[in-house]
Every structure is written in C-alpha cells, then in structure tokens.
Structure 1
Amino acid sequence: MTGRDENGDDGRRTGRRSTALKTVGIVLAGAIVLGVGAVGWAYRHLDDNIKSVDIDNALGDDRPAKAVTTPSPSASASPLPTGALNILVLGSDSRSGEENQELGGGSSTGARSDTAMVIHLDAGRTGATVVSIPRDTLVTRPSCPLPSGGSTAVAYDAMFNSAYAVGGPVCAVKTVESLTDVRMDHYVEIDFAGFAKLVDALGGVTVATDEDIDDDDSHLHLKAGTHHLDGRTALALARTRHGIGDGSDLGRIGLQQKLVKALLDRISTAGLLTDPARLYRVADAVTGSLTTDTGLDSLSELTSLGQSLRGLSSDAVRTVTMPVVPAASDRNRVVANEPEASDLWESLR
C-alpha cells in the first residue's frame, strides 16, 4: 500500500479539512458576535469551554526546528497570521464513563486517538496538505514526559495510537514529531462524545454508505444507501472498522472522511448566522469538545486561525494518507513505506 490521494477524480473531496477549520472559524466568529452583542456571559462560557495543554513547556527544546518562512507581501497589511503552519488534529475516543457507555463506547476504559491527521498550511495560507496517519501504524514511541513527573520508556514497534494512551497529548505530539521530523506548531483534539453533541445540535447529518455495515463493536448496523444520522449513530460510524472492507483502519479513514463532508454540508445549510439560538448550541458543542495547545485556547485565537484561511480554495488542498505497507511482524499492522513516507514529510517542512 502506498500513499493514497483521497481526492481521486472527485474534486468535491479536496479541501474538506481546510473547510472544517474555516467552518470552525465562522461558527466561533458568529458566537463572538452573539456573545458580545447579546449576552456577555455566553462568550465567557464558550471561551471557558476550551481545554488546553501546555505542550511547548512540556517538550522544551527537544523538538524539530520551527519552519522559517518569508512573510508574503500582503502580510504587513493584514492583522491575521499568514505563515506556514503544521497542526496535529486528533479525534479522541473515550470509552469510559456513563455518557460514553450510553453512546456505545464498549467495555474498554481510558481514551484513544482513533483519528490522526497532520494539517500543513503553506505560507500565505493559500495552499494546504492534509495527511492521515493510520492508528495501526507501528512506530518507535519516544520517551515522553508525564504530568505527574518522570517519563515513559521508549517503546519499539508500538501502535501509533498508544502514545496518546500512555502520555496524552504531549506524547502524541512528541511521537508524531519523532515519526515525521516535522514540528507541530499547534495541537487540536476533538472528543468523539462532543462530536455526537455537535451532530445533534445541527439536527443530524446525511451520509451515503457504499456497503452494508454490521459491526457489533461499534453497535452499528446499516444497510448500504443514504441515511440521516443522529449524533449516536454518526459517532458509531466514525468508530466502526470491523464491519467494512478488510477491517483495517484505512477503511475507517474513508468513512470518517465521508462523515466530515456530511457534517460540513449540514453546517453550510443550517443557516447558523441567522439563527442565534442554534448558533449558540453549535458553538457550545464545538468548544466543549476541544482540547488545544495553549496557543489556540481562546475563542479569539481559534477565530483568527479560521479567518486566516479565507483565501484557501478547495482546489489548492491535497488530502493523502501516509504511505504504508503491511508490517512483516504482524500483517494486521502497517509501517511507513520508505522512502515515500519520508519524502512526503520532507515536503511539509
């Protein structure tokens, strides 16, 4: 298996995740107007919703160098950021607690990074590359600092998503940087349970599936066809893997991309900016499901990021999966396919 360009021949697939960032910016900008112009407490509530982790302080200087870019000619005239940027986006799937059990979380405990992608924004914010990293990838997990003190041990041939399980966001970032030798300028984590609330706040999403899905683990049973999903069922679709294709994570990545498109389609047609009550419910769901690094932990910072992408068109975005091949030690796992994977990461530095 090599790197897959998710755009294929269907131009509609390009730019979905860049559009997601822009959509978040629009929603939060509207929420700011709502909060300041109507009820100040709403703004404060939304701002307080966002959780953050001080990743820069935890990792110190033992990281890849920050990219050095030349500002675009228009940068001095714009208050918005325009430099190149790499953002690690994780979808965390918590299976513990009463709420997650009700959402079909299964019997396991803790949280896992079931979705991982690196979003690279080119200097000028007019082009972008989005790289999905399969959770089944075997990596060398580096030693990571722990919040309680001390550090984790180096682990060889470890599952990629184990980094989050043993060391949280800090270890996830350090593992991605070790794998790619690319500095992650920001970190954004989206909680899957919060995602379900977002879908419900939007009134559900419509998704077309190409095959029957029968997965007892995710509690999802759907016939092939078009379905209008509520939050619980949409979350099950994001989690499912055993009921589709060969049961690998690559199949789940494809389903999640469909779900992202459906969510963006719903946001674009929901009339949020003309419906303050629904706008607030959606903004509350968005901010309530986010954990960011300390550089993005406010409404104003997130909105600035979203607005800086307004010149990014969908045809200027490339969406790919990290090149992988089956692991020799375990055919149910994959490893980076070299030198293609290294060439891909080199293009993002």
Structure 2
Amino acid sequence: MTRHEEHGDTGGPVGRRRGALRIAGFALAGALVLAAATTTWAYWHLSDNITSVDINTALGDDRPARAMVTPSAAAAASPLPSGSLNILVLGSDSRSGKANKALGGGDSGGARSDTAMVVHIDGGRTKATVVSIPRDTLVTRPSCPLPSGGSTAVTHGAMFNSAYAVGGPVCAVKTVESLTHVRMDHYVEIDFAGFAKLVDALGGVDVTTDQDIDDDKSHLRLDAGDHHLDGTRALALARTRHGIGDGSDLGRIGLQQKLVKALLERMATMDLLTDPAGLYQVADAVTASLTTDTGLDSLNELMSLGRSLRGLTADRTRTVMMPVVTAPSDPNRVVAEEPAAGELWASLR
C-alpha cells in the first residue's frame, strides 16, 4: 500500500478513476430512479385521467348475446386479443369546463351525444366497419336505469340523442342495443376539447372537401379542396351541417367519416413507439377527455386494445351510415329504413 492510499489520498490516477466511476454510478442510479418515478407518475396520471362507467352492472343480463368467437391457432398463440368487437363511440357536446365552452359546448346545463358511431372490428382485427347513426333518428327509447335510482320510461318516437341526455352512457348503450340487436362490447366517449387536443397532438389532419363550406354555426369557412386542419378547425368540420347540402345531420356524417379516415391515416404515418414524448402527448390528449366502460378504464387495457389494432389501416376501414328514410311523422327527422338497416346490423353480429 502506498503512502497516499494509506492516508486515503485518491488524488492519483487510479483514485481519480475510482472516484469518477462512483460518481457515474450514482448518476446512473439517480437517472434510473428518476426515470422509474417519471414512468410511474405518467402511468398513474394517464390512468387517472380516464372516467369510467360500469355499464355491464347497470344493464345486467337484459342485453343481446355476446358474439361467439372460436379462436384460430394463430390467435390462441398471440398474447394480444384478436376476437371481433363492437364499440359504441360517442362524441359529446359536453358543456362542462372552459375548454368545451370555448369550443361551442354551451353552458353547464348538460351534454348530448353529438356524434354516434358503432365501430365493428372483425376477428383478426385488421378490418373495421364504422356505422354512423344520425342523431335525428326517431327510435323507441327503452327504459333505462338511473344512477340516482329508478328508471326512465319507455318512449316511442324519441330522438336518438335524447338517450344520452336523459340517462347518460348507460341509456345510450341500451338504446343502441335495442335499435341494432347488437351487443356493445365497449363504450368510448370523447368531448369537444378532447377531440381538438387529440388532433393537435397528432400535428393536425389532412382532409379533402368536395364543396365549399360556409357555416355560421360552426364558424368554418373552407373552399373545396385539400386542407390541413388543426384541432379547432377539425372539430368545426365535424360539427358542420348548415353550410353543406340540405343542412341536415346526414351531410355532417359524411364529413365526420372523412375525419375518421384522416385520423387513421395520420396515426399510420407516425411511429409513436419511437417517440416517447409524442406518445405521451397523444395519450394525455386522449385520456384527459375520455369516458369508457370499466373494461377500458386503465392504461393497460387501452394499450392492449391499441396494440391489437396495429394492422387496422384507413384503407381497411369501411364507413357507412345506417340506412334511413324521412320519418312519416316529421319531415325534419328520419327513421331506420328496413330491411336494409336490419341487414346491416345483422352483418355485425
């Protein structure tokens, strides 16, 4: 042992190297602890963002049967789910919060289902059919349980979007299942602010409009042609109805379906798995304004669903509208056109 080492002197080359290694070790350990804490916080934050509703318990067994799926050998070997799914997706004009109010949600008096789509994902999860239900459709609204107890009365000739207004997500699901005789495996709802934030987190979307749009209600003016839209303008396009066609909800559905495909195409061009910051921004935008059933109310469950849909692209997604005709009782309303509507829903069971 040298005199320097005996007295604890690490000023020599060997001592300096050991000191540097210790400092590097402490720095690495600190970085790992910080990364773990950050990851844990991010996971907790994103999961805590999600609002959930226990639809299965509320509705019980009085529902259409679940689809019976026999898994293939390849599906059975996969760690990801691969069976068919039916998901009710609602865009709500929530009137709570400053962000929603600024985007056209109105006052704090409630919310309506502004957009309704049944998303059917085929077994194997590489193809999908998105069926839009016009909110002006007259339906028989079934009796729905209320969170406060009791239930709503059966109502004939009710506006489709009134189900959400009177009974929330539970009544929306029950009304869709009553109309379609198709079991909704999951429920997903996003409000005005959430949709706009998602589009912005993705860097905007590209859409092509077939005609000029000038809508004083949605405050959107676009010439026919190609456009790159930020979140606010994309939301305005989704809400536009008075500046196109006959001003009915049917014209707006066509624009909403364009946006669905535009979002799919945009996400396909982004490799979020190699961009943690971008992935977090998108995930935060989605979960912050999301309401789901209890089967999708954690980040793990949402990520598992997302990974199972990696093979789903815009060109494998078919967008249609439930066949409707003018309601005999009201020229401003529509009803399901039979047997075409029934045949469409039967194809999704």
1:341 corresponds to which letter in structure 2? A
Partner residue in 1 for 2:234: 234
**TM-superposition CA deviations, 1:29-49 (whole Å, max 9, x none):** xxxxxx869632111111111
Provide the residue aligned with 1:200 in structure 2. Answer: 200
Q: Which amino acid aligns with 1:191?
A: D
Cα offset, 1:113, TM superposition:
1.0
Does structure 1 conserve the Cα–Cα contact (< 8 Å) formed by 2:105 and 2:192?
no
Counting only pairs closer than 5 Å after superposition, residues 84-123 of structure 1 correspond to structure 2 as 84-106=84-106, 109-123=109-123
One-letter amino acid of the structure 2 residue matched with residue 245 of structure 1: G
Q: Give the Å deviation of 1:125.
A: 2.9
SS at match of 1:111: coil
Give the structure 2 partner of residue 64 of structure 1: 64
Q: Name the residue aligned to 2:294.
A: 294
Measure, in 2, the Cα distance between the counterparts of 1:146 and 1:274: 44
Distance 1:310 1:142, change over 3 A: same
**Larger helix share, 1 or 2:** 2
TM norm structure 1? 0.83
- Contact kept in structure 2, 1:93 and 1:193, CA below 8 Å: no
8 Å Cα contact 2:268-2:313 kept in structure 1: no
- What does 1:153-232 align with in structure 2 at a 5 Å threshold? 153-232=153-232
SS of residue matched to 2:147: coil
> Once the 2 structures are TM-superposed, how far is the Cα of residue 211 of structure 1 from its aligned partner?
2.0
Q: Residue by residue, what CA displacement relative to the aligned partner does 1:202-239 show, whole Å, maximum 9, x if unpaired?
A: 33333332222222222223333333322222211111
Find the aligned partners of 1:40 and 1:179 in 2 and give their Cα distance: 42
Q: How many percent identity over aligned positions?
A: 79
Task: Check 1:146–1:43 CA distance in 2 against 1; reply closer, same or farther (3 A cut).
Answer: same
Structure 1 equivalent of residue 51 of structure 2: 51
Assess, with a 3 A threshold, how the Cα gap between structure 1 residues 169 and 59 changes in structure 2: closer, same or farther. Answer: same
Distance in 1 between the 2:92 and 2:136 partners? Answer: 15
Measure how far apart 1:61 and its partner are: 1.1
How far apart, in 2, do the equivalents of 1:180 and 1:135 lie? 15
Q: CA deviation at 1:335?
A: 0.5
Contact 1:105 1:218 in 2 (8 A): no
RMSD of aligned Cα (Å):
2.2
Task: Tell me the equivalent position of 2:135.
Answer: 135
Distance 1:96 1:213, change over 3 A: farther
* Matched-pair contact (CA < 8 Å) for 2:186–2:296: yes
Q: What's the counterpart of residue 348 of structure 2?
A: 348
Q: Secondary structure at the match of 1:235?
A: helix
Displacement of 1:78 in angstroms is 1.6
The answer to whether structure 1 residue 337 and structure 2 residue 337 are counterparts is yes
2:22 corresponds in structure 1 to none
* Residue identity in the other structure for 2:131: V
After TM superposition, the score normalised by the length of structure 2 is 0.83
Number of residue pairs matched by the alignment: 315
Structure 2 gaps of 5+ residues are: 1-34
Larger CA deviation: 104-113 vs 146-155? 104-113
The answer to whether the 8 Å contact 1:106/1:218 transfers is no
CA distance in 2, matches of 1:124, 1:270: 23
**Looking at both structures, which has the greater relative contact order when contacts are Cα pairs under 8 Å and sequence separation is at least 6?**
1
Tell which deviates more after alignment, 164-173 or 230-239.
Answer: 230-239
2:266 maps to a residue whose letter is R
Is the CA contact (8 Å cut-off) linking 2:137 and 2:160 kept in structure 1? yes
